[in-house]
C-alpha cells in the first residue's frame, strides 16, 4: 500500500528504513509522494555510522511511475574521511520536478558507494523542517500573504 504525501500535510514519507546498512551501491524502491507538490519539504538524510575508507553519494530521483525512468532531482556527496554521525536536510527542487515532468508521482533514493570497504548505516525521509509554515503564511491582520 503506497502512501501519498502532499505539501500541505505535516506528515513524512519514509524513503529508506531506519538502521539500514549497505556495503555496495543500492537503489531503493520509489515512494508515492508527488514531488512537484513538495515545495516546502526537505529531503532528510540521517547517517548514523559510516566507514572512512569509502566514498558516498546520495541521490534523490523522481519518476511518473514506480517502475519508470527516474530523473535526478538533487544529490549530495559525503565528505571524504568524515566518520561522525550527522543528520542533514536538502531542499527538494519541486520546480525542477515540475519542469522535468509535471506528472511525477514517485521519489526514490540511490546511494552510490565506492572506495575500499565502504559501509554506511542511515535512514532517509521526506518531511518539513521544524517550524515550516508551508507556501503561504499569515501576515499582519487576517489577510493571507503568499511569498
Indicate the pLDDT class of residue 118, thresholds 50, 70 and 90. very high
The partner residues of 48 in beta bridges, in order of sequence, read none
Cα separation, 92 vs 130, in Å, equals: 15
Residue 37 lies in a domain: yes
71: pLDDT strictly greater than 60: yes
Q: Does some domain include residue 144?
A: no
For the cut 50, the answer to whether the pLDDT of residue 16 exceeds it is yes
Q: Average pLDDT for residues 63-92, to the nearest whole number?
A: 90
Tell me the β-bridge partners of 145.
137
Higher pLDDT, 77 or 101: 77
**In a domain? residue 5:** no
How far apart CA 8 and CA 122 sit, in angstroms, is 27
Mean pLDDT of 48-69: 93
Q: Which of 115, 60, 124 is nearest to 82 (CA)?
A: 115
Cα separation, 55 vs 45, in Å, equals: 16
| pTM attached to this predicted model | 0.78
Place of cell 515540475: 98
In a domain, 90, yes or no: yes
Q: Is the pLDDT higher at 87 or at 2?
A: 87
User: What domain range is 52 assigned to?
Assistant: 13-128
- Please indicate, yes or no, if residue 99 is contained in any of the structural domains: yes
The number of distinct structural domains making up the chain is: 1
pLDDT band, very low/low/confident/very high, at 66 (cuts 50, 70, 90): very high
Amino acid at each position: 500500500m503506497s502512501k501519498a504525501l502532499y505539501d500541505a500535510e505535516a506528515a513524512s514519507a519514509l524513503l529508506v528504513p531506519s538502521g539500514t546498512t549497505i556495503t555496495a551501491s543500492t537503489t531503493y524502491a520509489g515512494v508515492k509522494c508527488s514531488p512537484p507538490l513538495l515545495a516546502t519539504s526537505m529531503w532528510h538524510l540521517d547517517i548514523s555510522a559510516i566507514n572512512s575508507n569509502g566514498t558516498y553519494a546520495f541521490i534523490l530521483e523522481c519518476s511518473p511511475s514506480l517502475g519508470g525512468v527516474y530523473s535526478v532531482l538533487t544529490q549530495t556527496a559525503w565528505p571524504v574521511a568524515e566518520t561522525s554521525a550527522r543528520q542533514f536536510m536538502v531542499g527538494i527542487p519541486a520546480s525542477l520536478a515540475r519542469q522535468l515532468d509535471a506528472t511525477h508521482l514517485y521519489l526514490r533514493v540511490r546511494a552510490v558507494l565506492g572506495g575500499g570497504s565502504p559501509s554506511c548505516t542511515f535512514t532517509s525521509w521526506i518531511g518539513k523542517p521544524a517550524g515550516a509554515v508551508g507556501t503561504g503564511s499569515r501576515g499582519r491582520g487576517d489577510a493571507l500573504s503568499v511569498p
